Structures are given as C-alpha cells and as structure tokens.
Amino acid sequence: MRRLCLFLIGFLSLAISVSCADNYSREDFPPGFVFGAATSAYQVEGAANLDGRSPSIWDNFTHEGNMHGDTGDVSVDEYHKYKEDVQLMAETGLDAYRFSISGPVNPKGLQYYNNLINELVSHGIQPHVTLYHYDHPQALEDEYGGWVDRKMVRDFTAYADVCFREFGDRVSHWSTINEPNIFAFGGYDLGMVPPKRCSPPFGFNCTKGNSSYEPYLAAHHMLLAHGSTARLYRTKYQNKQRGYIGISLYGFWFAPATNSTEDIAAVERAKEFFLGWFAKPIVFGDYPGIMKKVVGSRLPAFTSDESELVKGSIDFLGLIQYTVFYGKDNSTGPEPKYRDYFIDTGYQITPWAMQGLLEYFKLGYGNPPIFIHENGQVTPRNSCLEDKTRVKYLEAYIGAVLDAIRNGSNMKGYFVWSFLDVFELLDGYASSYGLYYVDLNDPELKRQRKLSATWYSEFLKGNLANLDGILELEINISGHTRGVAFS
C-alpha cells in the first residue's frame, strides 16, 4: 500500500483530536443499522477455469507474474464452499454480506450467484452486491481498451441490466463500481493494478497507457456508466424491487505533514482531486473547479445531458476507510503541474480519521445515507488466531462510527473487511484482513475462527465492548470460545 500511496491524489482537512465512544454495545446503534462483512469475486471465489468463466483483467495480471506468483485461481474456493461460509456468517451473527458479481453471463454463473443469494436469504442475511470490483472481462480490454473507451458505458449498463433482472427480487442494495477513484489512479496512472496502463515518470513498468490523461478519461467513463446504470435501475426496476443503488469510494482521511500553510493548502487541493473528483459530479453534477483549472483540457467535460445523468445518481454512498494519510506540499517539485502534493501513511489505529471523513460528507455533501463498505486492519498472513490488535482496531473504529451517528451523520451500516483471509489485491497472500484464517496448505481450506471473529460475534449478539479495557477472549486451538471476559 505504501507504494500505491506515493504521490497519491488525496485530501486533507485538519485532523481533529476526538475520543471514541466507549462502553458501547450493539443496542446503542439505530434500529435497522446493518453490520456485516465483505469480500469480492476474484479475491474469494476461485474456480477460475470452471463452468464457463473466462479471464478477467485480474487473471491476466496475476498470470503475467505481477503478484509474485500468487493468483486467485483457487483462492479460498468460496465457489464450492459458499454454503459452509454462509453458515459461518450466520453463526457469527452477520446482518449482511457484501460481495461482488463477476464473469460473462452464462447459465452456470447465474446459477452460482442465485444459489449464493438464496443461501444468504434463507439464513436471514442481506445480500449487498457490488457490480464491479476492478475485474471487467479481459475480452473487453483486448477489444477496445476497457474503460478508456466509451463503449464500456454501454456494455456495463447491459451487464447491470442482467444482474437486476436475475437477482434484484432478493437484493436490496446495489453498488455500481468499487473504489473508482483508486482504480483510476492505480490502473491508469501508476499501473500498479490491472489493466496496468501508465507512462513515465509516474507509472511502474507499463507497456501502454498515458498517465497524464487516461486516469481522467477512465474515471469519466466510470461516472457515466454509474449514472446510466442508476437511471436504468430507477426507471425499470426500483419501483418493483424496492431496492437502493449507490457507489463506493475509497475514503482516506488526510492530515497535514506539518502545520505549514503550504502543506495545509496542498492537501485542500488534493481533497478535491481525490474525493471531489467523483463525489462532486455525483452530488452536484460537475468536477471541482480546482481540477478544471489544474488539469485543463486533459479533464473531460460533462455535457448538460451527462451532468443530469450523473447528478443525484445515488440512494446511498459507500465509503471504504482504513487509516490516515499525511500530505505535504510539492508545488516546487519537478512536475508541479501533475503532482503538487505528496502523500504518505502508516497503518496506525486512528479512529478519529473515520469521524473526520464522515463529518466531511455530512457538512460538504448534504449528509447522504452512508455505508462503511470496508474497514479493517492488515496483518501478516499467518496461523496466529489471537489477533488482539485487530480486536482493538475494530472496537475503536466501530466506536468512531457510533460517535459520528451521535453527531448527526446519516449512517446506515458497517462492513468489516474481510470475512475471510482472501487474495489481497496489493500483495496476494502475504497479508490478511480476515476474521477467519484459511490455511492455504490444507486441501480442505479449513476456516478457523480468529479472536476478532469471536469479538465481533459477541458484539453483534449484544455483549458490551469496552474501549478503556482490553478484551480477553480465550480460544482453544480449534477456534471455539472457552470463555469471555470484558474488563
């Protein structure tokens, strides 16, 4: 992640020192507030060459050696183990499971997602579906370049139509595109993720692309695809299916590297480039003024019809938040026209960053309904099941969400990333975020409960979470709880 964040287009608002809610429980959250966990198709399903599935851009990317030999060919094989996983979700006490749909339309693929959705519903778990998680078919990339071509708007809308038709009677919440701000940056500027398009001096050994304008072009087409899909859902399906449609943005929180006027101003610019890049068209119908000024003709312009299509195109906003980043002015650097701020981070437990982000959207974007679509702590992937730091992380950030609610944020739900240890999109199997450990050397890919899964389950079942103390949960080697004590 540190490499991805180098020169990251990001934002700053001054960090606010706040204390998080303590001594809270599940009952302190509003009625109907949803707690869940999340994964995505390529990261969890496996079965890469079965039942009519064809390669996505992630398949090609990993098989070209870009992830040190790691691939999602098998991953944790949820394609075959979905019933076991849904049972585990029910035992944990999840209200909802967020997952993505991927692959060409074919009978076996439709059957799998129908089976997964039916299994979730039968256990009282809400399916929250992401239509796109960085993984369009490689065939579209080969045919016309994927998101750099406007044809993608048409094809994405047609694909969404099939999903709404086939699954919408049981799916209440749809997210069109996952993290388009990160995807445009990582895939078309730095080239660190597929489709690996970039150019010097910003990219990482790409063979195609142009970092100076393709990120803006791809982002523009993603916004239009989102708007087109939202219009389709609202006009054709929403009245009958009674669901909601939104989009998920990567929501870093930024603080200045120093208290200098230059650093503060730099990250104020950066917040418009990173969050405003997508949020302002979606809420207000156009790109931020500072983007138009700095990017100039490289930034596509909305026609009046396009602006109308995109403006107001969400029923909810998904936010993905992990940590705080620090911004520093770079306006005197060698390329100030393109990179006039510098971003770096560490993975501290900083729940005030969550509160700052939610306050930003409450005050600046009309307080839209918000789901935290991903939040969690990265650790090295190993078999240690007593992940006490993850427990501390989760109780701190969930407490921050509760504080934001008490301060007026229109929060609707929270999803832990991730339900299982999965293939991670930045470093394969080197790290993990999961509530459950999966032994990749075990032919059965056994799921093993971590301390964090036990804590989350106890919280969801109404036990008290105390931020001032240390939660001690004793687990035996098989992962079953022996005792629970809250200090």
Catalytic positions are 179, 374
What phi and psi values does residue 71 have, to the nearest 5 degrees? -140, 170
> What is the rounded CA–CA span in Å between residue 334 and residue 336?
6
* Both tokens assigned to 180: 């388009």
Residue 199: beta bridge partners? Answer: none
Question: Beta strands 324-329 and 253-256: pairing type?
Answer: parallel
Residue 293 to residue 424: CA distance in whole angstroms: 36
How many whole angstroms from its chain centre is CA 108? 27
Coil, strand, or helix at residue 37?
strand
- DSSP structure string for 208-256: S--TTTHHHHHHHHHHHHHHHHHHHIIIIIHHHH--EEEEEEE--EEEE
CB-side exposure of 480: number of CA atoms within 13 Å? 2
Place of tokens 């993603």: 222
What Rg, from alpha-carbon coordinates, does the chain have?
Answer: 21
**C-alpha–C-alpha distance, residues 390 and 349, integer Å:** 10
Residue partners of 47: CB distance under 8 A and separation at least 6: 53, 74, 77, 79, 80
Distances (CA, A) of 242 to 30, 165, 236, 314: 21, 13, 11, 14
In this structure, the strands spanning 34-38 and 96-100 are parallel
Give which of 378, 392, 384 is closest to 431, Cα–Cα: 378
The CA-atom distances, in angstroms, between 487 and each of 106, 310, 316, 394, 460 are 53, 49, 37, 17, 18
Number of Cα atoms under 13 Å in the Cβ half of residue 17? 0
Give CA separation, 450 vs 88, 90, 434, 455, in Å. 13, 16, 8, 9
